[in-house]
Structure 1
């Protein structure tokens, strides 16, 4: 419990820290549910509750991710999409992402949920195409902007 609390506090501090940067407001665009976090330390030390990654699809500047996990109804699940901050210099460039689920629900039911994340913070100046590697997804996704 202490480990989850410390991690949640560190995620919140990352959000606060990122809001000070001029080019990253850390707010999702109006069509996405949540913002994507770019943080190498968070990516490398990510701790998540168990979930099954069912599917992911890019629509405009949002990635919709469908997951399933045990719980009471999924209404209290906290989901975060974290980018490593590293950009593989290829053509097109590549980025690496992990999804985190914080699940405090103690029920045995199994629910599916779709949540979307804003991809605009991942855009690279001078490029209009990125390959996204989402951990747990069998194939990569092509994000064109």
Structure 2
């Protein structure tokens, strides 16, 4: 009987000490996944766009970019890794922001999207990300 009460007290204490607040849950705040595909890196749509800025925050790469269009609401975007790791110090990966844009307007629309890049980690604690349709590279440290 003493053992049963003791077990009930331990289990009850465990439930009472757990904190289920949403602030303790840390879901990815990135909007999209990064694809790793040599085929898509080559074959995915490549409509004209201008990359203005690249920023890494935790495991999210935020890309500020623009293209001509009406609203940008119909754009289809993918961040694609070439599935090749360049052996250098630090290692490098090549990426491309793919845009399919069928909007026929002359306005220039700017958007900012974030991509989860955690699947791009390599051995060590950093990798240089070369974005091919940008003149920029960015160091991803983890």
Aligned residue pairs total 116
Which structure 2 residue ranges, 5 or more long, are not aligned?
A: 1-26
Tell me which residue corresponds to 2:38: 40
Q: What does residue 57 of structure 1 align with?
A: 55
**Partner residue, 2:13:** none
1: distance between equivalents of 2:136 and 2:31?
Answer: 23
- TM-score, normalized by length of structure 1? 0.75
TM-score, normalised via structure 2 length? 0.76
SS of alignment partner, residue 92 of structure 1:
coil
Does structure 1 conserve the Cα–Cα contact (< 8 Å) formed by 2:86 and 2:92? yes
How many Å apart are 1:46 and its aligned residue? Answer: 3.2
Q: Note the alpha carbon deviations across 1:37-74, whole angstroms, 9 max, x for none.
A: 00011112333111111111111101111111111111
* Secondary structure, aligned partner of 1:49: coil
Give the whole-Å Cα distance in 2 for the aligned partners of 1:31 and 1:100: 21
Q: Distance in 1 between matches of 2:72 and 2:45?
A: 18
Deviation for aligned residue 1:30: 2.2
Mark the runs of 5 or more structure 1 residues left unpaired by the alignment. 1-28
Please state how far the C-alpha of 1:89 moved relative to its aligned partner: 1.4
